[in-house]
Amino acid sequence: MNPVKRREFLQSLSKASIAAMAAGAPRQSSAGSATASLARYAPSADSMILLWMGGGMAHTDTFDPKRYIPFTKGVEAKSVLSTFPSIDSAVDSIKLSQGLENIASIMDRGTLIRSHVLADLGHILHSRHQYHWHTGYKPPLTVAAPHLGSWMSHILGSRNEALPSFIEIGQSYAGNGEAEELKAFSTGGCLGSEHGPFRISNPADAIKSVRPPAGMTFGRFQNRDKALRRMLAASPLAEYGSDFQKDSYLRSLDNAYRLLSSPAAEAFDLSKEPKEVYDIYNTGKFGQGCLLARRLVENGARFVEVSTDYEPFKGWDTHDNGHTRLKGMKRMIDAPITQLILDLEKRGMLDRTLVVLASEFSRDMMTEGKPGKEVRAQAKVQDKIQDLKFYGMHRHFTAASSVLMFGGGVKQGFLYGATADERPCTTVTDAIGVMDLHATIYRAMGIRSDYSVDVEKRPFYVTNLGHGKVRKELLAKA
């Protein structure tokens, strides 16, 4: 055997042995030995919910309030650091921005990072920063980088064989000006489409995605499946001998049927929720998404992302009217996120569920990009603000951003990092980039930050070059 063949052989062998090791984990509900041996760390969380504040959430108007200057005609823009007053939280040392009273009341359950520094990618394009945040890699690149959720699906598999392991809620693509850029990272990438997201654009319709097609009764659905089984048994395919592709195909059909006929499918049905609970969550699509995420995690989902639905110039992407629009955005997230945490706690699941709230960068009234390296501004600023619509954080700011974490082994009532109290309100201590934040998240999930797969004969890591460093300070037991 020549060296090359031998090497290929060994590679295919390693593929198989890894597969064999991990066989128990994903959909075979038995043995979880693989998880431990592959992941190396004992996980402090089994599931993760990512709450995605798409569009750039201003830190000074949400989780890192600074000097508040109310709007008056002619107010000097550069004097305004926050457009809302601060409020107390359950933790003495932590103040939040007005409008987040509910979250403030549960700050004792979570860790607040105020020193998240985002990549310096030049002229801002939201989806490019979102790509970086979700994959850990800056596009373009020569490998199709997998989404955080795809890595978890690939390494940890699903916790419940009937549920897809990576579920994405709330992001819409149709008619979205950056749809193609968003799709570029909402993907299993080099891990294959099996690890791509199960997309639910509208949580209110989620149940449709796990029910027989519209207009088909369950009885008919079952009969159709039975007929298929009979047809398979009658098939002369056997004449072609054993065939791996056929077997795996049938396996995938089994999985699909299992989900569609499983009690777990009820998790997708928001109407099954008591009205009083539903009403607390129901601030719209995002709130419903939080409720759906809770139901899915309760039923064994591995990774769920709930997005505020990024669309250029909408949601958190406040190029104008920032102050006014943020009132609405805070109303949209405050109650459901709080209820999500309380519900998980009540069910005894918070300890094993990591909830992370993040955004691709922050915003500021004056600085576009980062201080000292400013780039072409995309929002107009009045030096003396005459009109309320100019009152708000309208420029894209990458030098500091807030991240909120709950459960899953992170510290409680903990504040990490700080930003300056004067403009440009940039990170002053404990700067943490996407790579180390990811390493810490992976660590909580039990995954090494230098876990890698072989793509075109070179290793491709969960964090860039495997260099992500776990910030143990954030973890309760590290």
Q: Which is nearer to other proteins, 135 or 402 (CB)?
A: 135
Work out whether 13 is an interface residue with other proteins (CB under 8 A): yes
Residue nearer to other proteins on the CB measure, 269 or 450:
450
| Using rule CB under 8 A, residue 214 touches other proteins | yes
| Residue 202, burial from CB neighbour count under 10 angstroms (0-12, 13-18, 19+) | middle
| Binding to other proteins in span 223-262, by CB under 8 A | 223-224, 227-228, 230-232, 234-237, 240-253, 255-257, 259-260
**Residue whose CB is less far from other proteins, 210 or 444:** 210
Decide: helix, strand or coil at residue 408: coil
Supply the minimum distance, in Å, between the C-beta of residue 176 and other proteins.
Answer: 11
Q: Work out whether 220 is an interface residue with other proteins (CB under 8 A).
A: yes
Who contacts 262 (Cβ-Cβ below 8 Å, separation ≥6)? Answer: 162
- Indicate whether 313 belongs to the interface with other proteins (CB under 8 A): no
Q: Does 23 bind other proteins (CB under 8 A)?
A: yes
Beta strand segments in 359-439, E: 362-364, 369-370, 373-374, 384-385, 395-397, 403-406, 414-416, 418-419, 427-429
Q: Is 162 left (phi over 0), alpha (psi -120 to 50) or beta?
A: alpha
Q: Where are the alpha helices (DSSP H) in 300-446?
A: 322-346, 434-444
The answer to whether 5 contacts other proteins (rule: CB under 8 A) is yes
Least distance to other proteins, CB of residue 170, Å: 16
Question: Which residues lie below 8 Å from residue 224, measured CB to CB, with a gap of 6+?
Answer: none
CB of 304 to other proteins, least distance (A): 16
Provide the token pair at 283: 């601030």
Please report whether residue 33 would count as binding other proteins according to CB under 8 A. Answer: no
Number of residues in contact with other proteins under rule CB under 8 A: 113
Q: Are strands 369-370 and 362-364 parallel, antiparallel or unpaired?
A: unpaired
451 binds other proteins, rule: CB under 8 A: yes
Binding residues among 139-198 for other proteins as defined by CB under 8 A? 139-144, 153-154, 164, 177-181, 183-184, 187, 190-196, 198
Q: Does 10 bind other proteins (CB under 8 A)?
A: yes
Do 22 and 157 meet the contact criterion of CB atoms below 8 Å apart? Answer: yes
In the complex, the smallest distance separating the C-beta of residue 395 from other proteins, rounded to whole angstroms, is 15
Instruction: Give CA–CA dist 145/397, Å, rounded.
Output: 25
By CB under 8 A, tell whether 42 contacts other proteins: no
Q: Candidates 8-16, 52-60, 293-301, 404-412: pick the segment binding other proteins (CB under 8 A).
A: 8-16
- Beta partners for 116? 432
Among residues 439, 375, 370, 376, the alpha carbon closest in space to that of 398 is found at: 370
Distance CA 36, CA 393 (A): 45
Q: Please, are residues 46 and 344 in contact by the beta-carbon 8 Å criterion?
A: no
> Quick one: tokens of 46?
């089994």
Output the smallest distance, CB 253 to other proteins, in A.
Answer: 5
Please give the backbone phi and psi of residue 220, each rounded to the nearest 5 degrees, phi first: -65, -40
Q: According to CB under 8 A, which one of 15, 347, 380, 472 is a site residue for other proteins?
A: 15
Give the residue with the Cβ less far from other proteins, 369 or 392.
Answer: 369
Residues 6+ apart with CB under 8 A from 376: 123, 368
Residue closer to other proteins, measured from CB, 66 or 154: 154
Shortest distance, position 298 Cβ to other proteins, whole Å: 21
Q: Which of 14, 33, 79, 93 binds other proteins (CB under 8 A)?
A: 14
Member of 73, 275, 346, 457 binding other proteins (CB under 8 A): 457
Identity of the residue, 2 or 72, whose beta carbon is nearer to other proteins in the bound complex: 2
Do 121 and 366 meet the contact criterion of CB atoms below 8 Å apart?
no
Distance set, CA 263 to CA 102, 130, 298 (Å): 33, 34, 12
Nearer to other proteins, 88 or 254 (CB): 254
Residues between 366 and 395 that touch other proteins (CB under 8 A): 375
- CB of residue 16 vs other proteins: minimum separation in angstroms? 4
456 in contact with other proteins (CB under 8 A): yes
* Residue 303 sits in the site that holds other proteins (CB under 8 A): no
Select from 323, 361, 340, 380 the least CA-distant residue to 125: 361
**210 lines the binding site for other proteins (CB under 8 A):** yes
Site string for other proteins, 119-138 (x = CB under 8 A): -xxxxxx--x---------x
Query: Does 2 sit near other proteins (CB under 8 A)?
Result: yes
Write the DSSP symbol of residue 24: T
Q: Does 11 bind other proteins (CB under 8 A)?
A: yes
Applying CB under 8 A, does 213 fall inside the site for other proteins? Answer: yes
